């Protein structure tokens, strides 16, 4: 245990002098073994999800009854090239997991980008301008926070066609309040600082000050939130798929693959287990990176780097 703590401790030279807080946070995070493990593992999964389906001749949605319910390697009855076996319709489980991971990452990352843009824009404006703008935006934020995201998503997608853009829009517009809160708190602390007052004396507009000087300060406290939110959005996408409100079949996603495999848990456990393992590994990697970024941010705020 002592060796692990010593290995993950922040090295004295992890953050170079003269670097910005964001640069120091990233330098400290990269010096941690858990961040590197998460980054390498997540990078491998993303590479497999992007490139393997492109170079493989196996169609993840093609039905082949002659190859149905083949077990994964190295169980008896395993057959090449189905490393993770096949499902009840003879479709390759590995390719379906990789395509599902691709859609899960697409929805998760794009949703977080949308949440970040909307939330940070509103939060920066509210905190920097104050007054009635701050009051109105924060009351909207409170109203949005009172509605659980998954309930809102189920309600909207249940009465509309659940396409990928619709899922991203619903989740993105449901999750921006957290980013608005963090951005507002940072803007409130920065708007009366000397460099802001100096820029105003020089004639800089509020928009220029917010974009060029205050916005970069928002990144360190919100970066780890964004990384962890990618994992959270991937879980929400899987929940919606499991309920039949996500990406629709025959396109495979983690949620609809697991939902279809429920009746085969006893005699073909791998159909539901393999997507779960892909989710477990990808979410673990994201959480390792997010927690490392949070610790690095705390070290910067405490003045340790």
DSSP string, 37-89: HHHHHHHHHHHHHHHHHHH----TT---GGGTTPPPTTSTT--TT-TT-B-TT
Q: In this structure, which CATH number among 1.10.3720.10, 3.30.450.20, 1.10.150.130, 3.40.50.720 belongs to the domain 19-57+71-301?
A: 1.10.3720.10
User: What is the signed CA dihedral for 118, 124, 126, 127, rounded to 10 degrees?
Assistant: 150
| pLDDT given for residue 14 in this prediction | 44
| pLDDT given for residue 41 in this prediction | 94
Contact between 215 and 128 under an 8 Å Cβ cutoff? The reply is no
| pLDDT given for residue 16 in this prediction | 53
DSSP classification of residue 101: H
87: alpha, beta or left? (left if phi > 0; alpha if psi -120 to 50) = beta
Is 103 in a helix, a strand, or coil?
A: helix
| pLDDT given for residue 99 in this prediction | 93
Q: Which residues of the chain have pLDDT under 70?
A: 1-21, 304-305
| pLDDT given for residue 219 in this prediction | 75
| pLDDT given for residue 189 in this prediction | 80
């Amino acid at each position: 245990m002592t060796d692990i703590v010593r290995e993950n401790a922040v090295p004295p030279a992890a953050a170079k002098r003269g670097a910005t807080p964001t640069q120091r946070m990233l330098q400290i995070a990269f010096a941690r073994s858990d961040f590197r493990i998460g980054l390498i593992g997540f990078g491998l999964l993303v590479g497999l999800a992007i490139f393997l389906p492109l170079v493989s001749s196996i169609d993840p949605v093609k039905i082949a009854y002659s190859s149905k319910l083949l077990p994964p390697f190295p169980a008896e009855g395993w057959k090449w090239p189905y490393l993770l076996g096949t499902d009840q319709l003879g479709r390759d489980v590995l390719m379906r997991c990789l395509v599902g991971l691709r859609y899960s990452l697409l929805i998760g990352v794009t949703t977080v980008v949308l949440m970040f843009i909307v939330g940070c824009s509103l939060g920066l404006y509210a905190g920097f301008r104050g007054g009635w703008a701050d009051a109105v935006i924060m009351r909207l934020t409170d109203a949005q926070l009172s509605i659980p995201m998954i309930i809102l998503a189920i309600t909207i997608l249940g009465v509309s066609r659940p396409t990928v853009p619709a899922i991203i829009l619903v989740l993105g517009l449901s999750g921006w309040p957290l980013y608005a809160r963090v951005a507002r708190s940072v803007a409130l602390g920065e708007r009366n600082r000397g460099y802001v007052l100096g820029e105003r004396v020089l004639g800089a507009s509020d928009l220029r000050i917010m974009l060029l000087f205050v916005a970069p300060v928002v990144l360190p406290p919100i970066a780890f939130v964004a990384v962890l939110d990618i994992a959270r959005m991937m879980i929400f996408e899987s929940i919606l798929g499991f309920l039949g409100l996500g990406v629709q079949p025959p396109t495979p996603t983690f949620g609809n693959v697991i939902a279809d495999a429920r009746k085969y848990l006893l005699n073909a456990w791998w159909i539901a287990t393999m997507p779960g393992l892909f989710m477990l590994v990808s979410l673990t990697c994201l959480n390792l990176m997010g927690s490392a970024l949070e610790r690095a941010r705390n070290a910067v705020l405490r003045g340790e780097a």
